[in-house]
A and B are shown apart, each in its own frame.
Chain A
Amino acid sequence: MDKRKALIVDDSSLARMMVRKFFSESFKDWDLLEAKDGDDALALVEGQTLHLALIDFNMPGMNGIDLSEKLLEKHPDLSIHLVTANIQERMQLRAESIGIGFIKKPINQEKIVAAMQGLKG
Protein backbone atom coordinates (compact mmCIF):
# COMPACT_ATOMS: atom_id res chain seq x y z
CA MET A 1 0.00 0.00 0.00
CA ASP A 2 1.28 3.44 -0.91
CA LYS A 3 2.25 5.70 1.92
CA ARG A 4 0.12 8.73 2.64
CA LYS A 5 1.67 12.08 1.86
CA ALA A 6 1.87 15.16 4.03
CA LEU A 7 3.21 18.59 3.13
CA ILE A 8 4.86 21.04 5.53
CA VAL A 9 5.37 24.60 4.29
CA ASP A 10 7.29 26.93 6.60
CA ASP A 11 10.13 29.39 6.05
CA SER A 12 11.56 28.39 9.42
CA SER A 13 14.02 25.51 9.26
CA LEU A 14 13.33 24.84 12.93
CA ALA A 15 9.60 24.45 12.32
CA ARG A 16 10.21 22.04 9.44
CA MET A 17 12.75 20.05 11.46
CA MET A 18 10.30 19.67 14.34
CA VAL A 19 7.58 18.34 12.05
CA ARG A 20 10.09 16.07 10.31
CA LYS A 21 11.10 14.62 13.67
CA PHE A 22 7.51 13.87 14.65
CA PHE A 23 6.83 12.16 11.34
CA SER A 24 10.05 10.11 11.35
CA GLU A 25 9.42 8.94 14.92
CA SER A 26 5.68 8.43 15.04
CA PHE A 27 4.18 8.49 11.58
CA LYS A 28 6.35 6.11 9.64
CA ASP A 29 3.53 5.24 7.27
CA TRP A 30 3.64 8.78 5.93
CA ASP A 31 5.88 10.48 3.39
CA LEU A 32 6.66 14.09 4.25
CA LEU A 33 7.25 16.75 1.60
CA GLU A 34 8.90 19.97 2.74
CA ALA A 35 8.79 23.44 1.23
CA LYS A 36 10.05 26.78 2.54
CA ASP A 37 7.51 29.02 0.81
CA GLY A 38 4.39 29.00 -1.33
CA ASP A 39 6.05 28.90 -4.74
CA ASP A 40 8.30 26.10 -3.60
CA ALA A 41 5.28 24.19 -2.31
CA LEU A 42 3.22 24.57 -5.48
CA ALA A 43 6.11 23.29 -7.61
CA LEU A 44 6.73 20.40 -5.24
CA VAL A 45 3.17 19.08 -5.14
CA GLU A 46 2.59 19.22 -8.88
CA GLY A 47 1.23 15.82 -9.94
CA GLN A 48 1.30 14.47 -6.36
CA THR A 49 -1.59 13.05 -4.37
CA LEU A 50 -1.61 14.72 -0.98
CA HIS A 51 -3.57 13.90 2.16
CA LEU A 52 -2.49 16.50 4.72
CA ALA A 53 -0.87 19.94 4.52
CA LEU A 54 0.53 21.96 7.44
CA ILE A 55 1.09 25.54 6.33
CA ASP A 56 2.63 28.54 8.08
CA PHE A 57 0.93 31.91 7.58
CA ASN A 58 3.67 34.52 7.66
CA MET A 59 6.15 33.58 4.90
CA PRO A 60 8.07 35.45 2.22
CA GLY A 61 5.97 35.72 -0.94
CA MET A 62 2.43 34.46 -0.66
CA ASN A 63 0.95 33.94 2.79
CA GLY A 64 -0.47 30.67 4.09
CA ILE A 65 -4.08 31.55 3.35
CA ASP A 66 -3.35 32.40 -0.29
CA LEU A 67 -1.31 29.24 -0.67
CA SER A 68 -4.11 27.16 0.88
CA GLU A 69 -6.62 28.56 -1.59
CA LYS A 70 -4.34 27.69 -4.49
CA LEU A 71 -3.77 24.19 -3.16
CA LEU A 72 -7.49 23.62 -2.67
CA GLU A 73 -8.15 24.52 -6.30
CA LYS A 74 -6.05 21.56 -7.43
CA HIS A 75 -6.54 19.33 -4.37
CA PRO A 76 -10.12 19.90 -3.19
CA ASP A 77 -10.05 16.91 -0.83
CA LEU A 78 -6.79 17.93 0.82
CA SER A 79 -6.95 18.47 4.59
CA ILE A 80 -5.12 21.74 5.22
CA HIS A 81 -4.21 23.26 8.57
CA LEU A 82 -2.76 26.70 9.08
CA VAL A 83 0.09 26.34 11.59
CA THR A 84 0.96 29.76 12.91
CA ALA A 85 2.24 31.83 15.81
CA ASN A 86 -0.33 34.45 14.85
CA ILE A 87 -3.05 33.26 17.18
CA GLN A 88 -5.42 36.19 16.85
CA GLU A 89 -9.11 35.41 16.56
CA ARG A 90 -9.35 37.01 13.13
CA MET A 91 -6.65 34.73 11.81
CA GLN A 92 -8.57 31.72 13.07
CA LEU A 93 -11.75 33.04 11.49
CA ARG A 94 -9.93 33.58 8.20
CA ALA A 95 -8.78 29.97 8.20
CA GLU A 96 -12.27 28.82 9.07
CA SER A 97 -13.78 30.90 6.27
CA ILE A 98 -11.89 28.97 3.60
CA GLY A 99 -12.53 25.63 5.27
CA ILE A 100 -9.10 24.86 6.66
CA GLY A 101 -7.98 23.97 10.19
CA PHE A 102 -5.99 26.13 12.60
CA ILE A 103 -3.06 24.98 14.74
CA LYS A 104 -1.24 27.23 17.20
CA LYS A 105 2.52 27.07 17.22
CA PRO A 106 4.52 25.43 18.61
CA ILE A 107 3.33 22.27 16.91
CA ASN A 108 3.56 18.96 18.72
CA GLN A 109 2.69 15.33 18.14
CA GLU A 110 -0.77 15.60 19.67
CA LYS A 111 -1.70 18.46 17.36
CA ILE A 112 -0.56 16.48 14.33
CA VAL A 113 -2.56 13.44 15.47
CA ALA A 114 -5.63 15.66 15.87
CA ALA A 115 -5.09 17.03 12.35
CA MET A 116 -4.90 13.49 10.99
CA GLN A 117 -8.20 12.48 12.54
CA GLY A 118 -11.06 12.55 10.10
CA LEU A 119 -8.88 12.15 7.03
CA LYS A 120 -10.56 10.31 4.23
CA GLY A 121 -9.45 6.78 3.45
Chain B
Amino acid sequence: MFRLSELEEDALKEFFNMGLGMAADSLSQMVRNEVLLTLPKLKVVPYEEAARMLVENQEEKLVAVRQNFRGELAGTALLIFPGTESLELVRTLLNEDIPLEVVTELEQETLLDVGNVILNAFLESFTQMMHVEFEFESAEFLKGSSRFLLDITSHLAAQRQSLMEGADEDEERAFVLMMDFKTSDEEDAQHTLSGFVVLLFSHQAMLILKRELEVILSGL
Protein backbone atom coordinates (compact mmCIF):
# COMPACT_ATOMS: atom_id res chain seq x y z
CA MET B 1 0.00 0.00 0.00
CA PHE B 2 1.20 3.50 -0.84
CA ARG B 3 2.55 5.43 2.10
CA LEU B 4 4.54 8.58 2.60
CA SER B 5 7.04 8.84 5.41
CA GLU B 6 6.53 11.53 8.02
CA LEU B 7 9.32 13.56 6.44
CA GLU B 8 7.87 13.18 2.95
CA GLU B 9 4.49 14.35 4.18
CA ASP B 10 6.14 17.30 5.88
CA ALA B 11 7.91 18.20 2.65
CA LEU B 12 4.70 17.96 0.62
CA LYS B 13 2.92 20.19 3.11
CA GLU B 14 5.65 22.75 2.71
CA PHE B 15 5.33 22.64 -1.10
CA PHE B 16 1.57 23.04 -0.82
CA ASN B 17 2.12 25.84 1.63
CA MET B 18 4.24 27.65 -0.92
CA GLY B 19 1.64 26.98 -3.59
CA LEU B 20 -1.16 28.43 -1.57
CA GLY B 21 1.04 31.38 -0.66
CA MET B 22 1.39 32.16 -4.37
CA ALA B 23 -2.32 31.60 -4.92
CA ALA B 24 -3.28 33.79 -1.97
CA ASP B 25 -1.09 36.58 -3.30
CA SER B 26 -2.95 36.44 -6.61
CA LEU B 27 -6.32 36.41 -4.85
CA SER B 28 -5.38 39.25 -2.51
CA GLN B 29 -4.50 41.44 -5.49
CA MET B 30 -7.86 40.67 -7.04
CA VAL B 31 -9.95 41.36 -3.93
CA ARG B 32 -7.66 44.16 -2.76
CA ASN B 33 -7.56 42.66 0.69
CA GLU B 34 -5.27 40.40 2.67
CA VAL B 35 -6.02 36.69 2.48
CA LEU B 36 -5.41 34.83 5.72
CA LEU B 37 -4.09 31.29 5.46
CA THR B 38 -4.43 28.46 7.91
CA LEU B 39 -1.85 25.78 8.57
CA PRO B 40 -2.21 23.16 5.84
CA LYS B 41 -3.86 19.86 6.58
CA LEU B 42 -2.66 17.06 4.38
CA LYS B 43 -4.44 13.74 4.17
CA VAL B 44 -3.86 10.76 1.95
CA VAL B 45 -7.18 9.03 1.51
CA PRO B 46 -9.14 7.06 -1.11
CA TYR B 47 -11.11 9.10 -3.63
CA GLU B 48 -14.41 8.19 -2.04
CA GLU B 49 -13.30 9.41 1.37
CA ALA B 50 -11.97 12.56 -0.26
CA ALA B 51 -15.43 13.24 -1.63
CA ARG B 52 -16.94 12.76 1.82
CA MET B 53 -14.39 15.15 3.28
CA LEU B 54 -15.37 17.74 0.74
CA VAL B 55 -18.95 17.84 1.87
CA GLU B 56 -18.28 17.45 5.58
CA ASN B 57 -19.26 20.52 7.55
CA GLN B 58 -20.11 22.40 4.41
CA GLU B 59 -23.28 24.14 3.49
CA GLU B 60 -25.60 22.41 1.07
CA LYS B 61 -24.77 24.62 -1.84
CA LEU B 62 -21.19 24.55 -3.00
CA VAL B 63 -19.35 26.09 -5.88
CA ALA B 64 -16.11 24.72 -7.25
CA VAL B 65 -13.65 25.52 -9.97
CA ARG B 66 -12.00 22.36 -11.12
CA GLN B 67 -8.72 22.25 -12.99
CA ASN B 68 -7.52 18.93 -14.29
CA PHE B 69 -3.87 18.59 -15.15
CA ARG B 70 -2.22 15.97 -17.30
CA GLY B 71 1.26 14.90 -18.24
CA GLU B 72 3.91 13.40 -16.01
CA LEU B 73 1.94 14.67 -13.05
CA ALA B 74 -1.79 14.09 -13.44
CA GLY B 75 -4.62 14.98 -11.14
CA THR B 76 -7.36 17.38 -10.24
CA ALA B 77 -7.29 20.62 -8.31
CA LEU B 78 -10.46 22.06 -6.82
CA LEU B 79 -11.05 25.53 -5.47
CA ILE B 80 -14.20 25.34 -3.39
CA PHE B 81 -16.43 28.03 -1.94
CA PRO B 82 -19.73 27.74 -0.15
CA GLY B 83 -22.30 29.08 -2.63
CA THR B 84 -22.95 32.30 -0.78
CA GLU B 85 -19.25 32.99 -0.51
CA SER B 86 -18.79 32.68 -4.23
CA LEU B 87 -21.40 35.35 -4.94
CA GLU B 88 -19.69 37.59 -2.41
CA LEU B 89 -16.38 37.04 -4.13
CA VAL B 90 -17.87 37.97 -7.48
CA ARG B 91 -19.47 41.06 -5.97
CA THR B 92 -16.16 42.07 -4.41
CA LEU B 93 -14.29 41.59 -7.64
CA LEU B 94 -16.74 43.42 -9.84
CA ASN B 95 -18.67 46.10 -8.08
CA GLU B 96 -20.33 45.90 -4.71
CA ASP B 97 -23.35 47.88 -5.86
CA ILE B 98 -24.40 45.75 -8.78
CA PRO B 99 -27.72 43.88 -8.40
CA LEU B 100 -27.75 40.28 -7.25
CA GLU B 101 -29.20 38.99 -10.53
CA VAL B 102 -26.29 40.51 -12.43
CA VAL B 103 -23.82 39.03 -9.96
CA THR B 104 -25.43 35.64 -10.45
CA GLU B 105 -25.18 35.97 -14.22
CA LEU B 106 -21.49 36.75 -14.01
CA GLU B 107 -20.70 34.22 -11.31
CA GLN B 108 -19.56 31.40 -13.53
CA GLU B 109 -17.38 33.47 -15.83
CA THR B 110 -15.78 35.40 -12.97
CA LEU B 111 -15.10 32.40 -10.80
CA LEU B 112 -13.57 30.54 -13.70
CA ASP B 113 -11.15 33.42 -14.15
CA VAL B 114 -10.39 33.54 -10.43
CA GLY B 115 -10.05 29.78 -10.19
CA ASN B 116 -7.77 29.68 -13.18
CA VAL B 117 -5.42 32.29 -11.69
CA ILE B 118 -5.42 30.76 -8.21
CA LEU B 119 -5.07 27.13 -9.21
CA ASN B 120 -2.40 27.88 -11.78
CA ALA B 121 -0.38 29.83 -9.25
CA PHE B 122 -0.86 26.98 -6.82
CA LEU B 123 0.17 24.22 -9.18
CA GLU B 124 3.05 26.04 -10.79
CA SER B 125 4.70 26.35 -7.40
CA PHE B 126 5.35 22.62 -7.65
CA THR B 127 7.69 23.22 -10.51
CA GLN B 128 9.84 25.45 -8.28
CA MET B 129 10.88 22.47 -6.22
CA MET B 130 10.29 19.44 -8.41
CA HIS B 131 11.34 18.44 -11.89
CA VAL B 132 7.89 17.51 -13.07
CA GLU B 133 5.98 18.66 -16.09
CA PHE B 134 2.27 18.88 -16.54
CA GLU B 135 -0.29 20.64 -18.65
CA PHE B 136 -3.50 22.28 -17.59
CA GLU B 137 -6.83 21.50 -19.13
CA SER B 138 -9.53 24.15 -19.27
CA ALA B 139 -10.98 25.05 -15.90
CA GLU B 140 -14.55 23.92 -15.25
CA PHE B 141 -17.20 25.52 -13.12
CA LEU B 142 -19.28 23.31 -10.84
CA LYS B 143 -22.17 24.33 -8.67
CA GLY B 144 -24.71 22.45 -6.63
CA SER B 145 -25.62 20.68 -3.43
CA SER B 146 -23.39 18.37 -1.46
CA ARG B 147 -25.15 15.56 -3.27
CA PHE B 148 -24.08 17.08 -6.55
CA LEU B 149 -20.54 17.39 -5.29
CA LEU B 150 -20.57 13.68 -4.68
CA ASP B 151 -21.32 13.35 -8.37
CA ILE B 152 -17.92 14.89 -8.94
CA THR B 153 -16.62 11.63 -7.61
CA SER B 154 -18.21 9.77 -10.46
CA HIS B 155 -16.76 12.31 -12.85
CA LEU B 156 -13.38 11.77 -11.28
CA ALA B 157 -13.96 8.07 -11.60
CA ALA B 158 -14.37 8.58 -15.33
CA GLN B 159 -11.23 10.65 -15.48
CA ARG B 160 -9.14 8.31 -13.45
CA GLN B 161 -9.94 5.42 -15.78
CA SER B 162 -7.40 6.93 -18.12
CA LEU B 163 -5.02 7.84 -15.33
CA MET B 164 -5.08 4.54 -13.57
CA GLU B 165 -4.10 2.19 -16.36
CA GLY B 166 -2.25 -0.73 -14.87
CA ALA B 167 -2.64 0.47 -11.32
CA ASP B 168 -4.06 -1.67 -8.58
CA GLU B 169 -7.55 -0.42 -7.79
CA ASP B 170 -6.98 -1.08 -4.09
CA GLU B 171 -4.07 1.30 -4.05
CA GLU B 172 -6.01 4.28 -5.26
CA ARG B 173 -5.39 7.21 -3.03
CA ALA B 174 -5.83 10.91 -3.28
CA PHE B 175 -3.81 13.59 -1.68
CA VAL B 176 -6.32 15.85 -0.13
CA LEU B 177 -4.91 19.14 0.88
CA MET B 178 -7.34 21.28 2.73
CA MET B 179 -6.24 24.79 3.44
CA ASP B 180 -8.80 27.30 4.54
CA PHE B 181 -8.40 30.87 3.55
CA LYS B 182 -10.39 33.96 4.34
CA THR B 183 -10.10 37.66 3.96
CA SER B 184 -9.11 39.64 6.98
CA ASP B 185 -11.94 42.10 7.28
CA GLU B 186 -14.08 39.94 9.53
CA GLU B 187 -16.01 42.76 11.11
CA ASP B 188 -17.63 43.53 7.81
CA ALA B 189 -19.40 40.35 6.74
CA GLN B 190 -19.92 41.69 3.24
CA HIS B 191 -16.21 41.61 2.68
CA THR B 192 -15.42 38.28 4.26
CA LEU B 193 -14.64 35.37 2.01
CA SER B 194 -13.57 31.87 2.80
CA GLY B 195 -12.90 28.75 0.83
CA PHE B 196 -10.44 25.94 0.45
CA VAL B 197 -8.26 24.13 -2.04
CA VAL B 198 -8.26 20.38 -2.57
CA LEU B 199 -5.85 18.39 -4.70
CA LEU B 200 -6.57 14.92 -5.96
CA PHE B 201 -3.73 12.94 -7.48
CA SER B 202 -3.82 9.67 -9.35
CA HIS B 203 -1.89 6.75 -7.97
CA GLN B 204 0.66 7.11 -10.74
CA ALA B 205 1.13 10.81 -9.97
CA MET B 206 1.63 9.98 -6.31
CA LEU B 207 4.44 7.60 -7.18
CA ILE B 208 6.07 10.38 -9.19
CA LEU B 209 5.67 12.80 -6.30
CA LYS B 210 7.16 10.27 -3.90
CA ARG B 211 10.10 9.75 -6.22
CA GLU B 212 10.69 13.49 -6.46
CA LEU B 213 10.44 13.85 -2.69
CA GLU B 214 13.00 11.11 -2.20
CA VAL B 215 15.41 12.87 -4.57
CA ILE B 216 14.96 16.22 -2.82
CA LEU B 217 15.27 14.82 0.69
CA SER B 218 18.28 12.66 -0.13
CA GLY B 219 20.12 15.84 -1.12
CA LEU B 220 19.63 17.43 2.29
Contact = CB atoms under 8 A, between A and B. Distances in A.
Interface residues of B, number: 26
Nearest to B13: A12
A99 interface: no
A86 B35 CA distance: 9
Interface string A81-92: 000111111110
A60 B39 contact: yes
A84 to B, nearest CB: 7
Interface string A76-120: 000000001111111100000000000001100000000000000
B35 A88 contact: yes
Contacts of B38: 58
The winner among B21, B22, B34, B128 for most chain A CB atoms within 10 A is B21
Contacts of A89: 28
B14 A86 contact: no
A85 B220 contact: no
Contacts of A85: 14, 17-22
Contacts of B18: 85, 105-106
Contacts of B7: 13-14
Interface string B126-140: 001100000000000
Contacts, number: 60
B interface, over-half SS: helix
B17 A88 contact: no
Given A14-B14, A15-B14, A17-B220, A84 B129 contact: no
A11 B17 CA distance: 12
Given A106-B128, A106-B129, A14 B20 contact: no
Interface in A25-66: 58-60
B81 to A, nearest CB: 19
Interface of B: 7, 10-11, 13-14, 17-22, 24-25, 28, 34-35, 37-39, 128-129, 184, 216-217, 219-220
Given A13-B7, A85-B14, A91-B34, 17 more contacts: A12-B10, A12-B14, A14-B216, A14-B217, A17-B217, A17-B220, A18-B220, A21-B220, A59-B39, A85-B17, A85-B19, A85-B20, A86-B25, A86-B37, A88-B25, A90-B184, A106-B128
Interface of A: 11-15, 17-18, 20-21, 58-60, 84-91, 105-106
